[in-house]
Amino acid sequence: MDERKPASARTGTSSARCSLASKLQELNPILRGWANYYRHCAYAGRMFTSLDWYTGMRIVRWLRKKRPKARSCDIWAAYQPSSRRPTRRLWREGLVEQHMLAWTPVCRFRLAWMDMPNFTMSSGESGA
């Protein structure tokens, strides 16, 4: 699995042979990593919501490429209630479901959370 491929390449026609569960298992670690990295940025919640929408629409397009003769209701049948939040629907196959970025707790980063590095501590030397 090449981590440098863009989302459009991961959901392209060439990957139409794999199942929805394997596609979600490929996308979820990437989404989870982005969410954990950017959760301290300003307006991250708004961006996460729009990225959830974009990811969902890419999955719809991928499913249409995978099953070109399927009806819309057949494609949207995989859009099921979440096991974590039953009132929210997301892409799911079996126990594997789409990671929702908007459910990541967002808070501003504080410098007070950081500890002083060991190399800045005075070790009792006269020049320190």
Domain ranges of the chain: 19-107
Q: Is the pLDDT of residue 125 over 80?
A: no
Residue type at 95 in one-letter notation: L
- Cα(126)–Cα(128) distance, integer angstroms: 6
Over the chain, what is the mean pLDDT?
A: 83
Mean of the pLDDT values across residues 63-87?
91
Q: Is the pLDDT of residue 12 over 90?
A: no
Mean of the pLDDT values across residues 82-102?
92
As a residue count, the chain comes to 128
Ramachandran bin of 94, using left for φ above 0, alpha for ψ from -120 to 50, beta for the remaining angles = left
Q: Residue 41: pLDDT band by 50, 70, 90 thresholds?
A: confident
- Name the β-bridge partners of 96: 93
Contact indicator for 36, 30 with CB cutoff of 8 Å? no
pLDDT number for residue 115? 72
Q: What is the pTM of this model?
A: 0.74
Model confidence over 18-36: pLDDT tens digits? 889 999 999 999 999 999 9
- Cα(121)–Cα(118) distance, integer angstroms: 6
